[in-house]
Amino acid sequence: MIWNECIETADREKLREIQNERLSQMIERIYFNVPFYRKKLQEKGIEPGDIKSIDQLKDLPFTTKADLRDNYPFGLFTVPQNEIVRLHASSGTTGKPTVVGYTRKDLQTWSEVVARALTMAGIGKTDIMQIAYGYGLFTGGLGMHYGAEKVGASVIPISGGNTKKQIQLMRDFGSTAIACTPSYAAHLGETIHSEGIDLKEIRLKAGIFGAEPWTNELRKQIEKLLHIKAFDIYGLSEVIGPGVAMECECQNGMHIFEDHFIPEIINPETEEVLPYGEVGELVFTTVTKEAMPLLRYRTRDLTRLHVEKCACGRTLVRMEKCLGRSDDMLIIRGVNVFPSQIESVLLEMSETTPHYQLIVDRENNLDTLTINVEIDAQFWSDEIKQLEDLKKRIHHNITSLIGINAKINLVEPHSITRFEGKAQRVIDKRK
Amino acid sequence: MIIKQLSVFLEDKVGRLTKMTKILAEHDINVSAFSIADAADYGIARFIVDKPEAALKVLKDNNFSVNITDVTGVIVPHKPGGLHKVLQILSDNCIAIDYMYAFALENGEASAIIRSKSNDAVIKVLQENKLTLLEANDIYKI
């Protein structure tokens, strides 16, 4: 099923025309309404009307997260406050939160893209959908909520946390779909198993997971634990929230809703635009956003794009699962390390659970990496030898992948703090 | 002849062992014998208790990583050379021991818990050599 066939399977040339027109209108809006953008465009000698094609994107200035902070809270809004109908804010891990505003039309756009995403996962009128993303300032809950209502699903706005209640409603209401973070999905699955609940009582068929990086190995684990098909959704609040891109049933990358969000891949250092197929930083221009359009917003996410038509019939560009956010990237002794790399090593080993924590510290001016790994009770008997062997294998596999000598600590199941929202995978004590 | 031993993975953190013994105490589980093996940053506590299955369940419910392992218990003559005799029999029969630990019985005799990959062979050769093996029920009652 395709929600919006006209756009999602459009001829690339036709899509390009739509993008050209929308980009040109957007430049006009931001030039005349946002001093920040006007100044940046003028510095490049660009006047509204100069930009007629997306080929000119490469000449336009970038916007960064720092720009959002500098213009906190409403400095980048293009419309007066009386046209803003919703405000969201991201948890500011460093300093001020990032604020995003939506006009009524922006909310409609958001529901539209989420509706397309849910349709990709086969979710529609006949489904009962449990939204276990946090509701509130975080865009996950409300974003999925209105998209799910738009496709006509029966929505359970349970929000995040309260695992017992989640499972109870799943059984009593017969939820067929769930949306939450992948780490919470794994936690739900583990709890269902440890409580000895018969999976036959759980009618889930599809799960939509995002908001944190996860690996294909974790996908397999979740699919096994919950007997569902797990779909990857991509989004960031600055751009709109969940629903920027989504995996179709072919699961061969996530289709970006390009009629609203024009993607580019750039070399993060030289800022030069890279061709399809090359890895670089993902950049978005949100051509239809009214409240807070972003020009060439640098997501810090590293990925690559594929433009070949998908087997599902969609012509929208596909982005690969992000290799990591350059924000998540740790630089340990000069080596770039992504938590997702560690995760994929651990998930390939059956003895460990997908729960781990990286602790980066500095001793005698040297960075140290300690990895706490929860062991799975099923896979060790009672010998130190066996556990030492497991430690050695984890150490070996990680060292050969990232080239850093990490200290491995085996820890008890459930000893690493679970946040019912996002998992805290990294503790960097050097900061 | 086979004795069910609990093996519990414990992180090297103050209070973990206490947490475990508290749970056992609260569930009225009596410990007959135990031993702790320690590696660099974790340990394995091995326990012989009166209700192994019940202990397994309550520890699992409390998120401990716990397994049941089969071990053998033998009464060791409480005199010079007593332990040597037992070990000599095993090594003469090429039986490797993974680990063992000892405890005293109420009647003044000594007893050893032996873990070997070939538990059945341990039982067989010790019996052939007229050594007394502990019955599971006896030891659970100690």
Q: What domain range is A184 assigned to?
A: 1-327
B58 and B35 part of one domain: yes
Structurally, chain A folds into a number of domains equal to 2
Structurally, chain B folds into a number of domains equal to 2
Q: What domain range is B93 assigned to?
A: 71-141
Asked if A411 and B11 come within 8 Å (Cβ–Cβ), the reply is yes
Complex ipTM > 0.85:
no
In the prediction, which pLDDT does A420 show? 53
A10 and A119 part of one domain: yes
B96 and B137 part of one domain: yes
Interfacial A residues in 412-431 facing B (CB < 8 Å): 412-415
Which chain A residues are within 8 Å of B16, Cβ to Cβ?
A: 412
Does any CB of chain A come closer than 8 Å to the CB of residue B44? Answer: yes
Which chain A residues are within 8 Å of B42, Cβ to Cβ?
A: 387, 409-411
Which two three-digit tokens encode residue B86? 């037992």
Interfacial B residues in 101-140 facing A (CB < 8 Å): 115
- Please tell me the total number of residues recorded for chain A in this structure: 431
Which chain A residues are within 8 Å of B60, Cβ to Cβ?
A: 194, 377
A417 and A305 part of one domain: no
Tell which of B53, B70, B87 closes a domain: B70
Does any CB of chain B come closer than 8 Å to the CB of residue A384? Answer: yes
Distance from CA of A415 to the nearest CA of B (A): 8
Q: Render the burial of B77-113: b for 16+ CB within 10 Å, e for the rest.
A: eeeeeebeebeebbeeeebeeebbbebebeeeebbbb
Give the relative orientation of helices B16-26 and B52-61 as an angle to the nearest 10 degrees. Answer: 120
Does any CB of chain A come closer than 8 Å to the CB of residue B59? Answer: no
A267 and A377 part of one domain: no
The beta-carbon neighbor of B67 closest among A377, A384, A388 is A377
A85 and A215 part of one domain: yes
B7 and B55 part of one domain: yes
- pLDDT > 70 fraction of chain A, expressed in percent and rounded: 96
Chain segment A100-155, per-residue pLDDT in tens = 999 999 999 999 999 999 999 999 999 999 999 999 999 999 999 999 999 999 99
B82 and B66 part of one domain: no
A297 and A412 part of one domain: no
What whole-number distance in Å separates Cα of residue A419 and Cα of residue A160?
A: 10
The beta-carbon neighbor of A387 closest among B16, B39, B63 is B39
B49 and B85 part of one domain: no
Q: What is the CATH number of the domain that holds A29?
A: 3.40.50.12780
B76 and B128 part of one domain: yes
Chain segment A78-90, per-residue pLDDT in tens = 999 999 999 999 7
Q: What is the CATH number of the domain that holds B85?
A: 3.30.2130.10
Distance from CA of B27 to the nearest CA of A (A): 20
**Residues near A217 by Cβ (< 8 Å), separated by ≥ 6?**
A343, A344, A347, A348, A354
Tell which of A327, A356, A377 closes a domain: A327
Chain segment B37-61, per-residue pLDDT in tens = 888 788 999 999 999 999 999 998 8
